[in-house]
Amino acid sequence: MKKVLALVLCLLMVFAVTASAKEISEVKIGYILKPESNEYWSSMKEGVLKWAEEKGVQVDVQCVDDESNFTGQLEMMENMINMGYDAICAAPLSANNLVSGAVKAAQAGVVVVNVDENIDLEAVIAEGGNMAGHYTTDNIIVGNTGAQFIVDKIGEGQVAIISGTDGNVTSNNRVAGATEIFEATEGVELVAVQNGDWDRMVAMDAATNIMTTYPDLKAFYCANDTMALGVYEAVVNAGKADQVIVVGTDAVQGAKESVRDGQMAATVGQDNIGIGIACGELALQCVLDGWTADPTQEQCVTQYISCFLVTAENAADYL
């Protein structure tokens, strides 16, 4: 009888493994990214889809239409869970707007990998979920890098920061990193930090107002390149292209061309495509390995992918 039971248990275990095992071509991964109007995300999407084709995995990339559409982004995630996706790689609009989605995914057995912007891990674990991992750039260092370039260029004087949206972790960290350098540098005065909402026109208006208030301003650090390009336009419109330098973030194509052409002074780049692909590789491996979320263990390890500085001297190397 014991031999029969052992055989039955063995067969059940084999069946369970066979039933749960997937071929790479059967795995379906959903990506939820920020607006495609931002080249950082559109190029990540293209890179991820190319990787998926080469890898032979099913990938669906969806981009939210607006930086403020928190509910719409959560609905995207919930739809992917309901449609039986094996894994979801998500770049949230804020630290909190996808927390409930990440919890639902974990409870449904869907692997979640956090792309770039932080999903509040503590909140996810507190509600009984977990995530498989997180790939990003250390945005404090990104802000440090942009600000250090500025102080090296200007020596002393007034500077300003154009941030993203309120509550955005990426923006907050970049601003914190830049502020740290500015405040630690004797002779440099940080006179304004104003939201640009990741929008070119909003940032242009913000920069115009700051230059009106502080006519001796020498530099802007911008939390992304979409805003930086708008800020540079405001600087030109104010007739201050020879007085005010503009440093952006993300090293999107338009910004790299601007730096090459002697317009923007620099941009701090991130390997956005590398981040997107690393998340997909982790998601795929977790699905194949049968990874399950365990809220009792802090499984979500953050892996940092280095940033780089694009200047007039090296811009051609990045184009």
How many C-beta atoms lie closer than 10 Å to residue 32's C-beta? 24
- Looking at residue 167, what is its pLDDT? 81
CA 93, 190, 213, 222 torsion-angle sign: negative
As a whole number, mean pLDDT of residues 306-312 equals 95
The answer to whether residues 264 and 255 touch, using CB atoms and an 8 Å cutoff, is: yes
Percentage of the residues of the chain whose pLDDT score is greater than 90: 87
**Residue-range domains of the chain with CATH:** 2-137+272-304 (3.40.50.2300), 139-270 (3.40.50.2300)
Does residue 91 register a pLDDT over 90?
A: yes
Residue of higher predicted confidence among 22 and 142:
142
Place of tokens 């780049």: 269
Give pLDDT tens digits for 71-89: 999 999 999 999 999 999 9
Query: Could you give phi then psi for residue 128, rounded to 5 degrees?
Result: 95, 15
Q: Which residues pair with 245 in a beta bridge?
A: 219
**188 has pLDDT over 70:** yes
- The residues near 196 (Cβ < 8 Å, ≥ 6 apart) are 162, 163, 164, 202, 203, 206, 222, 223, 227, 230, 231
Is the pLDDT assigned to residue 7 strictly greater than 60? Answer: no
29 contacts 80 by C-beta, under 8 angstroms: no
- CA distances to 30, 57, 84, 250, 290 from 16, in Å: 25, 23, 19, 45, 11
Instruction: Answer whether residue 19 shows pLDDT above 80.
Output: no
Dist CA 36 CA 252 (whole Å): 13
Residue 275 and residue 114: Cα distance in Å, rounded? 10
pLDDT value at residue 21: 61
pLDDT at 2: 36
Render pLDDT for 242-265 as a digit per residue (tens, 0 to 9). 999 999 999 999 999 999 999 999
Q: Average model confidence (pLDDT) for the chain?
A: 92
Share of the chain above pLDDT 70, in %: 93
The predicted model scores a pTM of 0.78
Return d(Cα 207, Cα 192) in angstroms, integer: 10
Instruction: Return d(Cα 66, Cα 22) in angstroms, integer.
Output: 35
**The residue to which tokens 């998340």 are assigned:** 279
- Is it the case that residue 187 has pLDDT exceeding 90? yes
Angle at alpha carbon of residue 263, lines to 271 and 241, rounded to 5°: 140
User: pLDDT tens across 118-175, in order?
Assistant: 999 999 999 999 999 999 999 999 999 999 999 999 999 999 999 999 888 889 999 9
The candidate with the shortest Cα–Cα distance to 162, out of 68, 265, 247, is 247
pLDDT in tens, 198-226: 999 999 999 999 999 999 999 999 999 99
The contacts of residue 142 (CB under 8 Å, 6+ apart) are 173, 174, 177, 249, 268, 270, 307
Average pLDDT over residues 282-299: 91
The pLDDT of residue 5 is above 80: no
Q: Label residue 277 exposed, middle or buried (CB < 10 Å: 0-12, 13-18, 19+).
A: buried
16 pLDDT higher than 70: no
What pLDDT does 18 receive? 35
